[in-house]
Structure 1
């Protein structure tokens, strides 16, 4: 396996650091130096972040795609505004989708959901609308947590049911008649076709994955009728090791140390970002030791937030290829304010390969 460290846009290379070739010995020495302490690792990460700002990038991460717009896509056909989507066709506004067909406004959908609209969480579904967590079901509207059901409207948490409205069983004729009455009233109120109201969510917007992909502050979230959690779970001010006292190197950390070193598994740490307390588990410590990585100084939520910030946003801008003389235009997740040099696929391949 090629050995590369903090490099980008390289092909068929080995022993490179910050895109510069080095000998095998130099590579190992530099790698050990970077990982020798938390400060050195953070310094290298910041240098690489600045280094990437001047890099050439392809307008989108797409492989085997035709007539698509979006990012992180594989084997898609006629998909517009798709993100983290694969093996899908004829879709609009989909994310985290696999084998999704003829669907619109979908998230977390897998195993051939078809003719679905406005659904969050679907697996092997057909003709499902405005619903949440629907599995192997068909002809479903305004439902939540549905398993193996057919022709149901406005119910929650049922399995293997048919012709139900508000969790009550009806005959087929009664179901069709009552459903039309309900839809008619919803249309008069102007709410039919809307997704389930966000006010009904048991979670605050800032507690969900939505905050990772589409960050909003409290004011922005509440303007869109989302709930907000003022105080997220966790403890503060209980640390037994202060922020600046967390060991710099993994060699200074041990379990049940006989020599007076820090027994990190018995300590309570404090996040350098959010100031929330966190602990190191035994399995986690074993991983850091095996990989020769210094202990983190941030809790797992802030580390997750940092990783997510390195991904492109789920938003597109219309731009032109920045290669001189090229007039290709495209939809890209790289905003015009960013410093990367954005190329169309043809120009990128000519430059990098």
Structure 2
């Protein structure tokens, strides 16, 4: 998994000129990265053919070394977005079908969503992660099919008009509630008459930064006094992992939906995925996927690939392959078949040469500087990744120091972003969103967590006003990064002993995260 994640860019974006049209665009690649980078219009356009960069196979040196040379010569897509998203939401990455969105990542089918990760089919979500089919969501994580949710954490499904909730389902009008199922008018754990609940809520103004964080901290302290739901799974059978939905016979899978007979999957969106192994991100109708990352949408028999999809089959060792079949070791091909290192072959020659290459990869494998051997069957080496290790999701899961990266032959990014002169401290932003004028969008705000300055954009200000929530005092990278770190902490399994029946079971909650915990049957008996 570490190898795949070392290719998975995290949250950073750069400005870089397109190497075809010359326009300055947003890119996931550093300005000095040694690649040909095309903007989304040029890459998806018809002014070039990736086969023009095709190479003959050289059986005197490792095949992966030749692939890496091709990778550096063939134009690649600066941002993984479709053309519609590029027009309507250019400041996003690894996104599709986004309208009026800003700085969201690994997300699909969203509208008016800002500063988020893993958002799917949502509208008006701000500063949130892992939200599905919901609207009017702020400062929340793990929210599913809900409306008007503020400050929620952990797991909440089918809820309405709720504030600071955890592990709630089918609830409405709750404030500071935990483990409530099909309930309403709960305030800090106390069930109230409807009118009393409304009276208490009228005294609270969550548009005030001071009040918002007072109540958030108070609610989260209350949460610690209550057992958490040990696992969240819906309509799943014989499966292990965390956040496994509508799946069966899956082992060690995390944040997946609609998977069958698979192992070691992560971040798989709904749309059946079958018989796959070591697969990170995307999904949407896939089968026989092995050792691949960011691949999906009607794919079959995909091995050792990255950022590829949309009706492909029988593809190996390729990046940015869209459409087509039977290709091996290619980069940026669209709707092609029977290609090796981007060179076109006949069907007969392709299969003949493929067998020779596999034999060659086993006889003359690629060996990295630490002596790791890469024969046929291994994903691309991390040192081939176009991204600095500290800018990838690998660093969230498997942190390394700069010295360790250099020792392992990995890139390290040292920020040389131009320091914008800070014109207002975060602490000097008006406390209440009601008292915040449009003038704030002209300021450079000093992040309360890191030394960087950032701007508050007008759509963010407008959405904060509509939701009556305070402006963040953190820069985008800090606020999204904190949520991603929380998500990463859930992508694991540890053994715990049920504090009620004494059996050993698996959960993502460590002792530090939940001192007291029940197994799933005991939890359901206690709560439902």
TM-score normalised per structure 2: 0.60
Taking the aligned partners of 2:183 and 2:284, their CA distance within structure 1 comes to 38
2:259 is the counterpart of 1:88: yes
Aligned to 2:443: 267
User: Contact conserved, 1:59 with 1:345, CA < 8 A, in 2?
Assistant: yes
Equivalent residue for 1:100, pick from 273, 280, 284: 273
User: Contact conserved, 1:106 with 1:117, CA < 8 A, in 2?
Assistant: yes
CA separation of 1:152 and 1:32: change in aligned 2, threshold 3 A: farther
Taking the aligned partners of 1:22 and 1:220, their CA distance within structure 2 comes to 57
Aligned to 1:337: 512
User: Contact conserved, 2:388 with 2:411, CA < 8 A, in 1?
Assistant: yes
53-62 or 113-122, larger mean C-alpha shift: 53-62
Q: Deviations over 1:287-327 (max 9, x none)?
A: 1122221221111221112323443421111233221x342
User: 3-state SS of the aligned residue for 2:252?
Assistant: strand
Equivalent residue for 1:246, pick from 424, 429, 432: 429
Taking the aligned partners of 1:310 and 1:31, their CA distance within structure 2 comes to 31
User: 3-state SS of the aligned residue for 2:181?
Assistant: coil
Aligned to 1:258: none
Equivalent residue for 1:12, pick from 179, 182, 196: 182
Equivalent residue for 2:215, pick from 13, 31, 44: 44
Superposed, which structure 2 residues align to 1:276-295 within 5 Å? Answer: 276-295=452-471
Q: Deviations over 1:221-264 (max 9, x none)?
A: 7266543312175x545111123212111122112xxxxxxx21
CA separation of 1:43 and 1:237: change in aligned 2, threshold 3 A: farther
User: 3-state SS of the aligned residue for 1:156?
Assistant: coil
Aligned to 1:122: 295
User: 3-state SS of the aligned residue for 1:114?
Assistant: strand
Aligned to 1:72: 243
Structure 2: segments with no counterpart, 5+ residues: 1-159, 161-171, 366-372
Superposed CA RMSD in Å reads 2.3
- Larger radius of gyration, structure 1 or 2? 1
User: Contact conserved, 1:96 with 1:107, CA < 8 A, in 2?
Assistant: yes
User: 3-state SS of the aligned residue for 2:213?
Assistant: helix
User: Contact conserved, 1:56 with 1:342, CA < 8 A, in 2?
Assistant: yes
User: Contact conserved, 2:302 with 2:315, CA < 8 A, in 1?
Assistant: yes
183-192 or 2-11, larger mean C-alpha shift: 183-192
Aligned to 1:228: 412
19-28 or 167-176, larger mean C-alpha shift: 19-28
Taking the aligned partners of 2:305 and 2:499, their CA distance within structure 1 comes to 42
User: Contact conserved, 1:59 with 1:330, CA < 8 A, in 2?
Assistant: no
User: Contact conserved, 2:256 with 2:266, CA < 8 A, in 1?
Assistant: yes
CA separation of 1:226 and 1:48: change in aligned 2, threshold 3 A: farther
Taking the aligned partners of 1:224 and 1:62, their CA distance within structure 2 comes to 38
CA separation of 1:225 and 1:350: change in aligned 2, threshold 3 A: farther
User: Contact conserved, 1:8 with 1:19, CA < 8 A, in 2?
Assistant: yes
Larger relative strand fraction: 2
Aligned to 1:181: 356
Number of aligned residues = 342
TM-score normalised per structure 1: 0.88
